[in-house]
Amino acid sequence: MDNVRPKMLKDFLGQSPIVRQVSIAMASAKSRDCSFPHMIMGGPPGLGKTTLATIIANEMNGTIISRIASAITKPEDLVSLFEQIESLDTIIFIDEMEQLNRKISELLHTAMEDGFFTAKLKSGKLIKMDLPEFTLMGATNYLGELPRPFLDRFKVQVNFEPYSEDEIFTIICGAVKKMGVKATEDGAREISQRSRGVPRVAIRYLDSARDVALAYPDKYAGITTKCVAEMFEVQEVDNLGLTDLDRRILSFLMKNEKAVGMSALAQGVNEDDSTIEFVEGHLIRLNLISRTLRGREITKHGRKHMEGLKCPQV
């Protein structure tokens, strides 16, 4: 997927309000000869948060140091990060930032705001570091779970939303050109309709459709609608873009006459709560389930869809 990701901001499709905000912040930073402001990005996975961080590093002619939050658990981990800061254009990017423990987020407060780092290491040694100007950039699926004092220290705060079908279609067409594969407009459109508004999902389906076309060269002359239909059949994705997990959720809700809470729903389909949270957003947008004060319920539209499937529990 890396070879189809945009490298510059002008090539980043969708999320127009975010692109505009980043463009302004970037121009200001360059004119003042200072680092890009600390930035936090929220929103579901697969919408381009990591890609945008990389683009900003490219545009600022800087370097990006990436870590996942679960790997930063003690002061020594922060020391290792801060020692890699080379210039004011260095970006420290932390993914899944909601997983940072409170002690680490508090240590980051002074590093972000005052440019120094003081902490007692496991060895008992007290370390003090004067930090050069840098950018802390974070991505999180749960913006609301970050401590407010920590969140307030990010000057740029943006939240990614699912892409429109037309935006996904444009992204797919661009990826087709970069991949050098043959695809019909109808084939690309079919993928965009079932990609849940998520570029990462769209590219994954495009890769799978390419594999089907290459596996059956005598059957398909590229990524056509019939090729895409077979790909979705193999992937067990139905006409609304629902996966096996989506259908298991709907099936479980159909069997219950009353609203179901998050924990009960997750247990009923043998998944964790966070996975259900991601999935239910798409089901709600499609009006297949509703979220009430009592819990989750399947809608009439959801029941009709499940009853219309030949194999509702594929």
Give the strand order in the sheet containing 64-68: 64-68, 91-95, 135-140, 39-42, 156-159
| Domain 244-308 in this protein, CATH class | mainly alpha
Contact by Cβ (8 Å): 99, 143: no
Positive or negative, the Cα torsion across 273, 251, 235, 166? negative
Long-range contacts formed by 62-65: CB under 8 A, 24+ apart: 62/36, 62/87, 62/88, 62/89, 62/90, 62/91, 62/135, 63/87, 63/89, 63/90, 63/91, 64/90, 64/91, 64/92, 64/93, 65/90, 65/91, 65/92, 65/93
pLDDT score recorded for residue 2? 58
- pTM of the entire predicted model: 0.86
Same fold, 165-235 and 244-308: no
Segment 3-60, tens digit of pLDDT: 788 999 999 999 999 999 999 999 999 999 999 999 999 998 999 999 999 999 999 9
Contact by Cβ (8 Å): 111, 136: yes
Q: State how far the Cα of 183 lies from the Cα of 200, in Å rounded to an integer.
A: 18
Closest CA to 225 of 187, 185, 195: 187
Q: Residue 204: beta bridge partners?
A: none
- Residue 311 pLDDT greater than 70, yes or no: no
Please state whether 45 falls in left (phi above 0), alpha (psi between -120 and 50) or beta.
Answer: beta
Q: State how far the Cα of 93 lies from the Cα of 294, in Å rounded to an integer.
A: 38
Pick the CATH number of 2-159 from 3.40.50.720, 3.90.1280.10, 3.20.20.10, 3.40.50.300: 3.40.50.300
Query: Looking at residues 255-282, what average pLDDT do you find?
Result: 88
pLDDT score recorded for residue 142? 85
Whole-angstrom Cα Rg for the chain? 23
Q: Residue 298: beta bridge partners?
A: 289
- Residue 62 pLDDT greater than 60, yes or no: yes
How many alpha carbons lie under 13 Å from residue 235 in its C-beta half-sphere?
25
How many alpha carbons lie under 13 Å from residue 132 in its C-beta half-sphere?
14
Please name the residue that has the structure tokens 């709560």. 273
- The burial class, CB within 10 Å (0-12 / 13-18 / 19+), for 215 is exposed
- Residue 314 pLDDT greater than 90, yes or no: no
Residue 176 or residue 120, greater confidence: 176
Q: Residue 130: beta bridge partners?
A: 116
Question: Could you give the percent of the chain with pLDDT greater than 70?
Answer: 98
Residue ranges per structural domain of the chain: 2-159, 165-235, 244-308
Contact by Cβ (8 Å): 150, 38: no
With respect to CATH, is domain 165-235 assigned 2.30.31.10?
no
